[in-house]
Amino acid sequence: MKIAQGWLTTANRLSSPNTDTRPNPVDISLLVVHNISLPPEQFGGPYIGQLFCNCLNPDEHPYFADVAQLKVSSHLLIDRLGKIVQFVPFHQRAWHAGVSEFEGRENCNDFSIGIEMEGADHIAYTDRQYLVLAEVTKALCVEYPLITAQRIVGHSDIAPGRKTDPGPAFDWQRFRHMLT
């Protein structure tokens, strides 16, 4: 996998308007793993992309009425089949972490890359997702050497009490072993 001008060359691009300039673009030093499914615990369909591009129809599902107005994004989404969609170039700030803190530093969006795994806290992730996540992570660590093994975390680690993803179904030991 290669990164060119902030874009993963193997990813499908779907540009999100929910991005802005990082305060310090050379300080990309954290990788945050998330999960998302729309509707909750249902996979497939265009809804995640629609949410990140501000075009989710609130009338299409009862749950969407609560989230359609959110202005959120992530750098990448890895779906259940291992396909990658990139919404924001890595040198830009994606709006994935919200109120967050890592090692005493607030506003993790400023210095992190966010990767959404299509999934849910208590549903196992697919083998293909782990493989693709590991490949992407290795490429990111080469491109952004401030991201080290100790600086790869879950959303729950930077927003404890507020967020639970990627959840107990995410096998951190397996993922970390794949990085070695």
Assess contact for 144 and 28: CB atoms under 8 A: yes
Among candidate residues 114, 68, 112, 110, the one with its CA nearest the CA of residue 87? 114
Assess contact for 63 and 39: CB atoms under 8 A: yes
Among candidate residues 120, 96, 136, 155, the one with its CA nearest the CA of residue 43? 120
Q: How far apart are CA 14 and CA 51, in angstroms?
A: 11
Among candidate residues 172, 84, 85, the one with its CA nearest the CA of residue 129? 84
8-state DSSP, 133: H
**Is residue 101 annotated as a catalytic residue, yes or no?**
no
Q: Which of 103, 116, 118, 143 is catalytic?
A: 116
Q: How far apart are CA 136 and CA 126, in angstroms?
A: 15
**Phi/psi at 61 (5° precision):** -155, 145
Residues identified as active-site: 116
